[in-house]
Structure 1
Amino acid sequence: MCRTTDLRQAVLARNDDSAQALRAELTARGAIAVNMLSSPGSGKTALLESELALARERGVPVAALTADLATENDAKRLARAGVPVRQVLTDGLCHIEAVMLRGYVAGWLPARTQLLFVENVGNLVCPAAYDLGESLRVTLVSVTEGEDKPLKYPGAFGLANLVVLTKTDIAAAVGFDQETFLGNVARVNPGVEVVFTSARSGQGIGVLLERALAVRDGAEVHRPVMTRTATHDHAHSATGHRSPSLTIQHHGHGHDHDHGDHTHAHDQQSPPAPASAAPHPDHDALPHSHRYDHPTVDRW
């Protein structure tokens, strides 16, 4: 049992070290990472595509890295925004880790980049345990997934700096109970901001970009108060490693933001890695693309 516990602690400690290093490197070059977590089909890619297009229109240097088990579909969609995009194919791995992200960023991320959006693997369990060196962690959920998801996935929602509700244009059609949802969010993450969005209608488009830019400029972010632990048991199919019951704890990023003791919703209309940072030893990088409509693709 002790050896198992030591292994778990070592895995997370190694990840935290890489996360802290990447956060410091990005900060030194005036950039931040935004870690986006959600289940598959939440509308995360559609929202991010809109946010990236808006950033380009406003002249904000942004880039996006998207991770999936298979296919390059999301990267191709995001690249239509005309910004640098990198696709990571995890070949079954249910999340990405800081050491992986740091390796992908090295030598690829354009020097002027101010915001790096990381579209994590579609999964509300495994990704929640890993700090990627982000300065803003966003958990997204669609109205079609139901009001109870914050209670079912307290790690993903309880450790978020921002919660985004998507597909609000069909909330009435699916019988979504907004007040129940907000109450459930408040139970696991008191005071966190909840933003209502619809990529189809344009509701809330631009809010995520604004929040990210504010953090880049030194604004305080909501710090989750969650101190409980949650566990998950998953296989790392790419490496054969199995790490059951990893402890999830929030690691503060040095910003305090007091929203009070209530959850509030925003309903709005559109309003650095050094060259020496090496990729993971199992990672075979493909040539980097400089044409934004053809994203770089990596296979883990």
Structure 2
Amino acid sequence: MSDVDDRLIKLEMDVLAANDKVAAENRNYFAEHNILALNLVSSPGSGKTTLLCQTIDALKNEVPLMVIEGDQQTINDAERIRATGCRAIQINTGENCHLDAEMIKDASAKLVPEDNSILFIENVGNLVCPAAFDLGELCKVVVLSVTEGEDKPLKYPYMFNASKVMILTKIDLLPYLNFDVEKCKQYAKQVNPDIEIIELSSTTGKGMEKWVNWLKSHRK
């Protein structure tokens, strides 16, 4: 290995170590205020924002909810979230392909999540970089739509291994697709035997109750 490779590895380790330090501060802050912070990750177009909008509609009269939106450009998703009546702040990462703990710390300071609330962090659409960056969240929730390949857990094992929950979305489209649900679930369990799997449709509402109940139980 060359000296250049050594320096690159050390730099990457330094970046991750600095991020982990801030992530620990975020986690302590969330714990002190009883804030359930979740990091939603996926490929682009999986339906994260639609899922969030439906989740907000289901819970907004019971639980204080806030959203941190991450995208490389535009404020479109944050505007969709605000249209539900939920407070949201947008982070544009530019060339960066993920959110980091410092971004979440700064956004939280501006948003000031309420005590006993749920904070959804919608990460940049990417199944690679966000896997390595702890934001201080309770856990990662990976969103996979049935319009993608059922072998995604095998292609992106680090993300599925780092996630506590896999939400399989757009199940209302299954009759029109060649997507093997059981094989997808098998692949996810192969990568992460402990991953919880929730199947739902944000459009029809099927399966949403299970997701909402998961949120309520982990908020306690």
TM-score range, shorter chain: over 0.9
Corresponding residue for residue 34 of structure 1: 38
With normalisation by structure 2, the TM-score equals 0.94
Question: Against the structure 1 CA distance between its residues 11 and 3, is the aligned structure 2 distance closer, same or farther, given a 3 Å change threshold?
Answer: same
Secondary structure in 1 matching 2:49: helix
Corresponding residue for residue 124 of structure 1: 127
| Aligned residue among 3, 10, 14 for 1:6 | 10
CA deviation after TM superposition for structure 1 residue 162, in Å: 0.4
Mapped contact 1:62–1:113 kept (Cα < 8 A): no
1:182 aligns with 2:185: yes
- What is the distance in 2 between the residues matched to 1:8 and 1:213? 37
Corresponding residue for residue 172 of structure 1: 175
1:101 aligns with 2:104: yes
Corresponding residue for residue 21 of structure 2: 17
CA deviation after TM superposition for structure 1 residue 214, in Å: 2.2
With normalisation by structure 1, the TM-score equals 0.69
Mapped contact 2:150–2:183 kept (Cα < 8 A): yes
Mapped contact 1:37–1:127 kept (Cα < 8 A): yes
CA deviation after TM superposition for structure 1 residue 129, in Å: 0.8
1:54 aligns with 2:35: no
- What is the distance in 2 between the residues matched to 1:8 and 1:21? 20
The residue type equivalent to 1:9 in the other structure is M
Figure out how many residues of one structure are paired with residues of the other and give that number: 216
| Aligned residue among 83, 87, 98 for 2:86 | 83
Question: Against the structure 1 CA distance between its residues 183 and 110, is the aligned structure 2 distance closer, same or farther, given a 3 Å change threshold?
Answer: closer
The residue type equivalent to 1:151 in the other structure is L
| CA shift digits 1:68-107 (9 cap, x unpaired) | 1111111111112211111111122110100111111114
- What is the distance in 2 between the residues matched to 1:209 and 1:14? 34
| CA shift digits 1:164-223 (9 cap, x unpaired) | 000000012111111111111111011311100101110122433432332232xxxxxx
Q: Which ranges in structure 2 are unaligned for 5 or more consecutive residues?
A: none
Corresponding residue for residue 265 of structure 1: none
Q: Of Structure 1 and Structure 2, which has the larger fraction of its residues in helix?
A: 2
Secondary structure in 2 matching 1:49: helix
What value does the CA root-mean-square deviation take over the aligned residues?
1.3
Mapped contact 1:143–1:168 kept (Cα < 8 A): yes
Q: Which ranges in structure 1 are unaligned for 5 or more consecutive residues?
A: 218-300
